[in-house]
């Protein structure tokens, strides 16, 4: 019997032109992905995607990496997308395979990451009968996708693939789902490329509202205490250079959100640091005393604004530049609304921008940076996690791609690793997904084979996707895996200690594996450090090793992240820890 992925007989092949060739839905899918420039698909097979996986056999142009869990697949695709600016792609079967993607889809949706998620489904003939491994994944994920397709006819597949990539990567970017029933993946049609796009009702990035930009520029010229809050939109629109020019022309200091880190270089004198719950004193204080707030690609997230009734109380004007009109005025009342692609908005603004009246303000900001730097109580007796992050920065000169999981280590990276360029920090900001850090680093390394990729994890999050170390070993993906091991769920412990009066509940991670032995079991080099000297030696050995390495840093349980703004309080009501 001829293999299923060869849909024509030898005689048919000679009688048909390439545009008339009979192919299956599975082959159309693979060809469509290649035509969209997909470099790698991360996936996990199962019964209802077997035709798709069969079509991969003997296709040298199609690269697929088999993860060890569907969650690993979608986080890897996410890391690939964030680090490259391209659309990430993952593939899973129906039922549990598809539902295992849900957390990763929500992660990408919250952070505006362009993904195309392909799932299999039961044949159309048994849909709705509760067939084996049937799940209505389109309905399940509708609130967390930008758009979804259920492919009922193979003839629709070329157009759907083309549309999905366009929708995912235009306007406010996000995940798009394509659900393909098993019989559709094996149906035949005469091959044709997708026609030109004509998506009724869909609008990509609107043209820049130049009238609103002109209004903003006039306000800037009169402002004495302006602040720019730069978010992930700067990174996603590739507008870092335009932002730098705008800042220097207007002489306005910059604070960033977590996802905005790297969008403005940390070494620039006008950079104030991270804003928000664990933001720098200078950044938070400047926002609270500013007469003008300019949000650029930031959605005024609650972890940035903290108590809304106490946010930026002295601001006479709040301006918001964003590609998504739904975000403007959603959380914070906006006086000047500039809708459009950030790169386009700033390009126009830079043609006319002039300096604010900010000389005295900048001197005050610089004095605050000198008086209230990010700091911690260092000691030779313990290995502090902040020291580890500082060491990473110093040895890599801020040039690595750093992925994080979620928790205290995530905040320490945001505070103490000073990023030089965009798409260098990959972290789950909106959803706060534990398990994201390590597999996203795999995707980042696949997309950036010539850059150093470091995955920083807590001992909690590392155990959620540790099985993906198999991929690093098999494919020699040289991610440097860092485990900041404090033996507890650190951020939960910090909240219980400070907010719940030290009533600690279910945070002890005793019984965790020996991470070094676990790495070695997967075929990776494993190293451990308990002191500063050991940390320096182990980290340098990791950097000098060509392949993947896991380094476990044993740090104290009691260390907390400061500054900290408690929920329900204003940005300037910061706890400074040992430096109160």
Q: Is 402 a residue whose pLDDT tops 90? A: yes
Q: Which of 35, 133, 366, 573 is catalytic?
A: 133
Distances (CA, A) of 210 to 19, 308, 335, 545: 45, 29, 15, 52
Of 113, 111, 58, which Cα lies nearest the Cα of 80? 113
| 20 counts as catalytic | no
Domains of the chain, start order = 22-190 (3.40.50.970), 210-372 (3.40.50.1220), 385-561 (3.40.50.970)
What pLDDT, in 10s, does the model give residues 278-308? 999 999 999 999 999 999 999 999 999 999 9
Positive or negative torsion for Cα 382, 393, 284, 485: negative
Q: What is the mean pLDDT of residues 467-476?
A: 98
Cα 546 to its chain centre, rounded Å, is: 26
User: Helix (H, G, I), strand (E, B), or coil: what is residue 389?
Assistant: helix
| 491 counts as catalytic | yes
d(CA 468, CA 40): 16
Strands 480-485 and 453-458: parallel
Q: Which of 182, 343, 480, 532 is catalytic?
A: 182
d(CA 432, CA 173): 19
- The reported pTM is 0.95
Q: What is the mean pLDDT of residues 2-22?
A: 47
Q: Is 67 a residue whose pLDDT tops 70? A: yes
Between 94 and 209, name the one with better pLDDT. 94
What pLDDT band is residue 18 in, cutting at 50, 70 and 90? low
pLDDT of amino acid 196? 80
Largest CA distance in the chain: 82
Q: Is 4 a residue whose pLDDT tops 90? A: no
Of 28, 42, 8, 31, which Cα lies nearest the Cα of 444? 42
Task: Compute how many other C-beta atoms are within 10 angstroms of the C-beta atom of residue 234.
Answer: 29
Q: What is the mean pLDDT of residues 2-14?
A: 38
| 468 counts as catalytic | no
Give me the chain's average pLDDT, please. Answer: 95
pLDDT of amino acid 204? 78
Q: Which of 70, 163, 242, 552 is catalytic?
A: 70
Check whether the bond before 579 is cis (ω within 30° of 0).
no
| 182 counts as catalytic | yes
Q: What is the mean pLDDT of residues 13-33?
A: 79
What pLDDT band is residue 19 in, cutting at 50, 70 and 90? low
- Number of residues that make up the chain: 580
Q: Is 72 a residue whose pLDDT tops 70? A: yes
Q: Is 7 a residue whose pLDDT tops 80? A: no
pLDDT of amino acid 200? 82
| 333 counts as catalytic | no
Q: Which of 189, 306, 491, 574 is catalytic?
A: 491
d(CA 174, CA 466): 26
Structural contact between residues 285 and 275, judged by C-beta atoms closer than 8 angstroms = no
């Amino acid at each position: 019997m001829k293999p299923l992925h060869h849909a024509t007989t030898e005689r048919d092949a000679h009688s048909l032109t390439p545009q008339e060739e009979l192919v299956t839905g599975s082959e159309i899918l693979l060809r469509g992905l290649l035509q969209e420039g997909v470099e790698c698909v991360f996936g996990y097979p199962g019964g209802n995607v077997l035709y798709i996986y069969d079509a991969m056999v003997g296709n040298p142009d199609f690269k697929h990496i088999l993860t060890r869990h569907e969650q690993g697949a979608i986080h890897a695709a996410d890391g690939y997308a964030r680090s490259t600016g391209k659309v990430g792609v993952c593939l899973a079967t129906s039922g549990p395979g598809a539902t295992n993607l849900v957390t990763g889809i929500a992660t990408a949706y919250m952070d505006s990451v362009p993904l195309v998620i392909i799932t299999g489904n039961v044949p159309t003939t048994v849909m709705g009968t509760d067939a084996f491994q049937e799940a209505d994944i389109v309905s399940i994920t509708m609130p967390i996708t930008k758009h979804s397709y259920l492919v009922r006819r193979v003839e629709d597949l070329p157009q759907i693939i083309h549309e999905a990539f366009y929708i995912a990567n235009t306007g406010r970017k996000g995940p798009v789902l394509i659900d393909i029933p098993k019989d559709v993946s094996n149906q035949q049609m005469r091959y044709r490329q997708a026609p030109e796009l004509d998506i009724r009702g869909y609008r990509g990035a609107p043209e820049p509202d130049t009238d609103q930009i002109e209004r903003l520029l006039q306000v800037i010229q009169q402002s004495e205490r302006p602040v720019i809050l730069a978010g992930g939109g700067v990174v996603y629109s590739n507008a870092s250079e335009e932002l730098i020019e705008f800042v220097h022309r207007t002489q306005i200091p910059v604070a960033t959100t977590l996802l905005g880190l790297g969008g403005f270089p940390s070494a620039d004198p006008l950079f104030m640091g991270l804003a928000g719950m664990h933001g720098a004193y200078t950044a938070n204080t400047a926002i609270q005393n500013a007469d003008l707030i300019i949000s650029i690609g930031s959605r005024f997230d609650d972890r940035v604004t903290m108590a809304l009734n106490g946010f930026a109380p002295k601001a006479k004007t709040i301006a918001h530049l964003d590609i998504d009109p739904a975000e403007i005025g959603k959380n914070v009342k906006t006086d000047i609304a500039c809708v459009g692609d950030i790169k386009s908005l700033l390009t126009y603004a830079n043609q006319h921008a002039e300096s604010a009246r900010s000389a005295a303000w900048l001197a005050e900001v610089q004095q605050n940076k000198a008086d209230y730097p990010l700091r911690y109580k260092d000691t030779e007796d313990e290995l502090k996690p902040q020291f580890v992050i500082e060491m990473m920065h110093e040895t890599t000169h801020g040039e690595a791609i750093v992925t994080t999981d979620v928790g205290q280590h995530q905040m320490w990276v945001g505070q103490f690793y000073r990023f030089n360029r965009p798409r260098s920090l990959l972290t789950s900001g909106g959803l706060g997904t534990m398990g994201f850090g390590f597999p996203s680093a795999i995707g980042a390394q696949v997309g950036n084979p010539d850059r150093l990729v470091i995955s920083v994890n807590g001992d909690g999050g590392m155990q959620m996707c540790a099985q993906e170390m198999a991929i690093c070993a098999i494919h020699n993906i040289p991610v440097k895996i860092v485990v900041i091991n404090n033996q507890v769920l650190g951020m939960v412990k910090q909240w219980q200690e400070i907010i719940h009066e030290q009533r600690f509940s279910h945070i002890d991670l005793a019984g965790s594996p020996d991470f070094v032995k676990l790495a070695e079991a997967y075929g990776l080099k494993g190293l451990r450090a308990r002191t500063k000297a050991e940390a320096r030696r182990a980290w340098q050995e990791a950097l000098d090793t060509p392949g993947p390495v896991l380094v476990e840093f044993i740090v104290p349980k009691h260390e907390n992240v400061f500054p900290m703004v408690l929920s329900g309080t204003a940005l300037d009501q910061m706890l400074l820890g040992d430096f109160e």
